[in-house]
A and B are shown apart, each in its own frame.
Chain A
Amino acid sequence: MSAETIFITIIQCIIALSLLGTFVSYTIIATKRHKEARNRKRQAQLNQLIVDKILPQFIKEDLSEAVSEPLIDRKILDELALMDKTDRQLMIDTLIHLRWHVAGANAFILHRVYVLLELNQDSLQKIKSRRWQVNVQGLHELTLMDYAISDIDILRFNLSDVSELRSAARSAFMRFSKNEPFRFFDEIRDPLSIWELVGFFRILDQSKDTVKSNFANWIRYSRNKTVVICCMKLAAHEQSIEAIDSIEGLLNVNDHALRSHAINALGHLRALHTQDHLIKMYPNQPIDCQCEILFALGIFRTPGAIQFLKEQFLVTYDFEIENNVAGILARLMRGGQLNWTVPQLQERKQRILNYYLQEQ
Chain B
Amino acid sequence: MQKIIDIFQWFIFFYSSLTMVIYVAMAILSYKHIRLYFWKNMGHYTQNMISSPLSPGISVIAPAYNEGLTIIDNVYALMHLNYPLYEVIIINDGSTDDTLDKLIEHFALKDVDLPYHERIKTLPVKRFFRSSDKAYEKLLVIDKENGKGKADASNAGINASKYDYFLCTDVDCILHEDTLSRLMRPILDEKSRNQLDDIQVIPDTGYIHVEDNQRRVIAVGAPLRMINSSDVDNGVITRFRPPNKILPRFQELEYIRAYLLSKMAWSALNCVPNVSGGLGLFDKHIAVKVGGYDPRSFAEDIDMVTRMSVYMIQNNKRYAIRYIPVSLCWTEGPQNLKVFSRQRVRWARGLVQIMRLHWHVLFNTKFKRLGMVVFPYNFLFEFLAPILELTGFIFYIYLIVIGAINWVNTLTLLCFLYMFSVMISSIAVLWDQLTERHYRKTSEVIGLCLTAFAEPFIYHPLIVFFSLKGYVQSMFRQKLVWGNMQRKGFSSSNTKGTSSST
Q: Is the CB of A319 within 8 A of B199?
A: no
Q: Please judge, given known A-B contacts A15-B415, A15-B419, A323-B115, whether A198 and B196 are in contact too, CB under 8 Å.
A: no
Question: Is B409 engaged at the interface, CB distance under 8 Å to the other chain?
Answer: yes
> A8–B137 Cα gap in the complex (Å)?
67
Main DSSP-derived SS at the A contact region: helix
Question: Is B200 engaged at the interface, CB distance under 8 Å to the other chain?
Answer: yes
Within 8 A of B (CB), among A215-242: 222-226, 228, 233, 237
Considering the complex, give the chain B residue whose CB is closest to the CB of A222: B196
- Interface size in chain B (residues, C-beta < 8 A): 67
Within 8 A of A (CB), among B478-499: none
> A101–B408 Cα gap in the complex (Å)?
65
Partner of A199 from B45, B192, B433 at Cβ < 8 Å: B45
> A12–B409 Cα gap in the complex (Å)?
10
> A18–B452 Cα gap in the complex (Å)?
13
Considering the complex, give the chain A residue whose CB is closest to the CB of B449: A26
Question: Is B54 engaged at the interface, CB distance under 8 Å to the other chain?
Answer: yes
Cβ of A11: which chain B residues have Cβ within 8 Å of it? 412-413, 416
Q: Is the CB of A285 within 8 A of B207?
A: yes
Question: Is B405 engaged at the interface, CB distance under 8 Å to the other chain?
Answer: no
Q: Is the CB of B49 within 8 A of A198?
A: yes
> A360–B396 Cα gap in the complex (Å)?
70
> A285–B415 Cα gap in the complex (Å)?
67
Question: Is A307 engaged at the interface, CB distance under 8 Å to the other chain?
Answer: no
Considering the complex, give the chain B residue whose CB is closest to the CB of A16: B419
Question: Is A128 engaged at the interface, CB distance under 8 Å to the other chain?
Answer: no
- Nearest chain A CB to B402's CB is how many angstroms away? 19
Q: Is the CB of B112 within 8 A of A355?
A: yes
Within 8 A of A (CB), among B19-56: 39-40, 42-45, 47-49, 51-55
Contact with B along A285-301 (1 / 0, CB 8 A): 11000000000000000
Cβ of A237: which chain B residues have Cβ within 8 Å of it? 53
Q: Is the CB of B206 within 8 A of A14?
A: no
Question: Is B211 engaged at the interface, CB distance under 8 Å to the other chain?
Answer: yes
Cβ of B289: which chain A residues have Cβ within 8 Å of it? none
Of B266-274, B325-333, B343-351, B423-431, the one contacting chain A is: B423-431
- For chain A, the bracket of interface size reads 35 or more
Question: Is A65 engaged at the interface, CB distance under 8 Å to the other chain?
Answer: no
Q: Please judge, given known A-B contacts A26-B449, A33-B442, whether A100 and B39 are in contact too, CB under 8 Å.
A: no
Q: Is the CB of A355 within 8 A of B40?
A: no
Question: Is B337 engaged at the interface, CB distance under 8 Å to the other chain?
Answer: no
Partner of A21 from B47, B207, B427, B446 at Cβ < 8 Å: B427
Cβ of A250: which chain B residues have Cβ within 8 Å of it? 199
Contact with B along A10-38 (1 / 0, CB 8 A): 01101100110110011011101110100
Within 8 A of A (CB), among B437-457: 437, 442, 445-446, 449
Within 8 A of A (CB), among B152-203: 185, 188-202
Cβ of A29: which chain B residues have Cβ within 8 Å of it? 429-430, 433, 442, 445-446, 449
- Nearest chain A CB to B471's CB is how many angstroms away? 30
Q: Is the CB of A25 within 8 A of B429?
A: yes
- Nearest chain B CB to A126's CB is how many angstroms away? 11
Within 8 A of A (CB), among B377-407: none
- Nearest chain B CB to A33's CB is how many angstroms away? 5
A residues lining the B interface (CB < 8 Å): 4, 8, 11-12, 14-15, 18-19, 21-22, 25-26, 28-30, 32-34, 36, 96-97, 100, 133, 136-137, 140, 144, 163-164, 190-195, 197-199, 201-202, 205, 222-226, 228, 233, 237, 249-250, 252-258, 281, 284-286, 319, 322-323, 326, 351-352, 354-355, 358, 360
CB-CB nearest 5 A-B residue pairs: A18-B419, A25-B426, A195-B189, A195-B188, A18-B423
What are 27 sample pairs from A and B whose C-beta atoms fall under 8 A apart? A4-B409, A15-B415, A19-B419, A22-B419, A33-B437, A191-B191, A191-B194, A192-B191, A198-B52, A198-B54, A198-B55, A202-B48, A202-B52, A205-B51, A225-B195, A225-B199, A225-B212, A250-B199, A253-B201, A253-B202, A254-B200, A258-B212, A351-B113, A352-B115, A355-B114, A358-B112, A360-B134
Beyond A254-B208, A256-B210, A284-B206, 7 additional contacts (C-beta under 8 Å) are A11-B416, A12-B412, A18-B416, A26-B446, A254-B207, A256-B207, A352-B115
B residues lining the A interface (CB < 8 Å): 39-40, 42-45, 47-49, 51-55, 112-115, 117, 134, 137, 185, 188-202, 204, 206-212, 214, 408-409, 412-413, 415-416, 419-420, 422-423, 426-427, 429-430, 433-434, 437, 442, 445-446, 449
